[in-house]
Structure 1
Amino acid sequence: MTELTIRDAVPDDIPALHALIESAYRGEASRAGWTTEADLLDGQRTDPDDLADILADPAQRMLTAWRTGILVGCVLIADRGQGTGYFGMLSVSPTLQAAGLGRRLVAAAEAEMAARFGARRVRISVFPQRAELIAWYERLGYAATGETLAFPYGNPRFGLPRRDDLHFIVMERDLA
């Protein structure tokens, strides 16, 4: 296996980031992997302006994973204050999923949130319809908190819902 390089995203990475995230979450290409949201949402997962906003915000970063100069994965990390970090937009190229790259990105995200933001715990949000993904996060030590978050219906920047029961469950893990 070729060596993996994980580094912070820079503005020049935005086109590759956008393409990767869309391919991992939306449309037919996403069905090559197991993390697709194509049955839940149409439309976009993010856009270049959103990614530029993330990169410009000191409380957020995108970690990117590169193999021989090709972007193969990424994850958003954020400081939520009071020792809490958050990660989202975990994306792995659909044809490379189920090979441990997502697990490596989560571990890198947790380590970076602890080092950069002083995070002692990490929170994530997941669609409850994604039972397989929830089970994967549980195997990584995350547990449902009982909290839920509303899905932003009416805002096409987050996608076009295919159903009317979308929301997120919040999961959390303490960092050792």
Structure 2
Amino acid sequence: MGPVIRPATPADIPALHMLVESAFRGDRARGGWTHEADLLGGQRTDPAALAEAIADPDHAILIAFDGDVAIGCVEVKRAGSGRSALGLLSVRPDRQAEGLGRRLVAAAEDHARAHHGATRMEMTVIATRAELIAWYERQGYCRTGETRPFPMDDPRFGLPRVPLSFIVLDRSIA
């Protein structure tokens, strides 16, 4: 039996925050291949932002547990016009390469279909993250050709060490 994936609750915020930060920032994140530690300093998110997402009926953060240990999460939010957006995909660095990322993406797509009526899922990925973009492409996501600016002056999303932008990926989930 694998990890249990369920919607996060306010009680999960401390574990969720620690999980996300460990996957994306600082030296602990370097233990996994998905980190952004070389591109961004500062935080990836904060407890207030997580609480806001959990409380918003158009958002969900799905969290994966192995026993009572949070090992992964993904955010799903309604994006309008039959679309949902996937974000915040995080897997503990010491649990990467076990297939949990794929399971979380599938759970996010199931949630988007069931709760948002979505037929397409989109996401933004930092344009320089070639290995991560390739991973999403192997999951069936395609580059749309659209780019979006990175919030370079908003420390809630991190402190960029280099100029950054996003590319948009999407796929049908119908």
How many equivalent residue pairs? 174
Match for residue 72 of structure 1? 71
Tell me, yes or no, if structure 1 residue 21 matches structure 2 residue 20: yes
Tell me, yes or no, if structure 1 residue 124 matches structure 2 residue 120: no
Q: For residues 115 and 133 of structure 2, what CA distance do their matches in structure 1 show?
A: 26
Aligned CA RMSD, in angstroms, stands at: 0.8
- Residue identity in the other structure for 1:172: D
Shift of 1:4: 1.1
Q: For residues 3 and 65 of structure 1, what CA distance do their matches in structure 2 show?
A: 10
- The equivalences for 1:1-150 within 5 A come to 3-150=2-149
Which 4+ residue blocks in structure 1 deviate beyond 4 angstroms?
none
Once the two structures are superposed, what CA deviation does each residue of 1:120-174 show, in whole Å capped at 9, x if it has no partner? 000000011110100000011100101111011111111000012x010000001
Name the TM-score, length of structure 2 as normaliser: 0.98
Shift of 1:80: 0.8
Q: What is the SS of the residue equivalent to 1:32?
A: coil
Shift of 1:41: 0.1
Question: Identity across aligned pairs (percent)?
Answer: 56
Match for residue 162 of structure 2? 163
Name the TM-score, length of structure 1 as normaliser: 0.97
Once the two structures are superposed, what CA deviation does each residue of 1:88-138 show, in whole Å capped at 9, x if it has no partner? 000000000011000000001001100110000000000111101000000
Shift of 1:37: 0.2
Q: For residues 115 and 57 of structure 1, what CA distance do their matches in structure 2 show?
A: 16
- Residue identity in the other structure for 1:124: M
Q: For residues 27 and 167 of structure 2, what CA distance do their matches in structure 1 show?
A: 25
Q: For residues 110 and 51 of structure 2, what CA distance do their matches in structure 1 show?
A: 23
Shift of 1:3: 2.8
Q: For residues 60 and 3 of structure 1, what CA distance do their matches in structure 2 show?
A: 25
Q: For residues 157 and 135 of structure 1, what CA distance do their matches in structure 2 show?
A: 27
Shift of 1:69: 1.1
Unaligned runs of 5+ in 2: none
- Residue identity in the other structure for 2:100: L
